[in-house]
Amino acid sequence: MPSIKMRAFLISIGAFAPLLLCSVPQASATPAFSRQTGQSCAACHFQRYPLLNAYGRSFKANGYTQTGKQETIEDNSLSLPVTLNAAVVTKLRYVKTNGSSTDGTNGGEFNMPDEASLFLAGRVAKNIGYQADISLGRDKALLAGFKMPFVFPQNDFILSAIPFFTDTQGPAYGYELLNTGAVEFSRPFENAAETSAQQYLVQGANEDNKGTTGVALVFHHKYGYLSYTPYITNNKDDLANATPHKFMSYVRGVVTPEKVGNFELAAGFQLWKGTSGIDFPDTPENPKTHKADAWAVDGQAQGKVGNYPLGVYVAYGSAAKTEEGATPNDFNKETAANKTAFTIAADMGVVPSKLGLGLAYRIANSGSGGSDGENAVTLAATYNIAKNVLLQVNHSFYSYGADFIRPTPDVGDQKTSLVLFSAF
């Protein structure tokens, strides 16, 4: 890692920080769930959106059904909010890598928007909620994600059945409460594969498989939860006129013990396993198959050091190599070795509720065999312009094993991402 370049980046962050600390007009948080509950975004989120705190986990575990002060229409077997809760979620991004070619992101790339969605969510009935993510693409609207939790409280337990569909989030989209990157959206930093072991494992898999459909079956308690999700995954155009006849399995377990000192702790595991089969009427002799064979363990600690909020996130995962002549593993198509990753990330609010600084480290092996290391160090700074608007910069430095064959053109050994995220 070139020390001169590292110093230059740190100096640039230091020069930028005073600008971030200037007075910025405050705006009220008005996403869909804030409208529903009448509470600020800070009630459910740790430091910033989308990171969940204990109250946010409880709200999600109860299927988004809490209404707060919102008026509802009540009748026999009917409890429907008067208002349809909605929000617009946008992410504008600039990405720059330092490869020798001007192709791709080496010359800098603006994604305007990188994401833009109409987000509808809330209460359907007393024990039924929903979440719909409608992508506002430039070409056409697309249902990017949908889930409908059916929740059944039983004393201290909650039993849930959550049918869902997602275009790129994978089976973890059905039910996830931690912020380790176990599902792509719930992570502290923009550079996902560099700061989350799970996202390193699933990169490529969720992009190639443009659709995951399943049902998350959840047993939840305040001290943790266990979920089992049978699911199928498909290539982008495989959903039309297709018949699934075999499901893959996703298992997630999490423990959330009592608060220790100033910190809320959580730890868990993930397991993707099985082979799916999908028949097509036009070619029944050639069904489409997918295989999943991967696992991960993760943990997080969220609390305060003095008056400063601190989140620490750690994960390790492995995806089995693809056997010669067998169905490729969605998580690792390499036949030489297992794909592995370890990540640890810390995010501290140096100016609480305003400015956060982060650091993450990744040790990874691509599975190509030999000296196939893909390590990374990531620096991050996040400024909350408002409770529902944030600006984040990530800068990642990469180091590769001696035998690692880089893509052509060379993508370089550094990446900078600048993101403006808003939800209103």
Q: What is the CATH number of the domain that holds 152?
A: 2.40.160.10
Identify the pLDDT of residue 290: 84
Overall domain count for the chain? 1
Contact by Cβ (8 Å): 221, 257: no
- Which letter does DSSP use for residue 105 in this model? G
Contact by Cβ (8 Å): 359, 380: yes
Identify the pLDDT of residue 318: 98
Contact by Cβ (8 Å): 159, 196: no
Percentage of residues in the chain with pLDDT exceeding 90? 48
Angle of CA points 293, 299, 304, to nearest 5°: 160
Q: Is the pLDDT confidence value at 297 over 90?
A: yes
Host domain of residue 152: 3-423
For range 85-114, the mean pLDDT: 86
> Tens of pLDDT along 304-361?
999 999 999 999 999 999 998 888 999 999 999 999 999 999 999 999 889 999 999 9
Per DSSP, what are the bridge partners of residue 290? 276
- Mean pLDDT (the chain) is 84
Side chain identity at residue 347, one-letter code: D
Identify the pLDDT of residue 15: 40
- Which letter does DSSP use for residue 110 in this model? E
Residues 6+ apart with CB under 8 A from 93: 110, 111, 112, 113, 114, 190, 417, 418, 419, 420
CA pair distance 295, 185, nearest whole angstrom: 19
Q: Is the pLDDT confidence value at 248 over 90?
A: yes
Q: Which H/E stretch holds residue 386?
A: strand 374-386
Percentage of residues in the chain with pLDDT exceeding 70? 83
Identify the pLDDT of residue 94: 95
Contact by Cβ (8 Å): 251, 92: no
Contact by Cβ (8 Å): 214, 229: yes
Entry pTM: 0.87
The DSSP result for 166-213, as a single string, is: ESSS-GGGGS---SSSSSTTS-S-S-HHHH-HHHHHHTTHHHHS--EE
Q: Closest Cα to residue 371, out of 340, 403, 342, 398?
A: 403
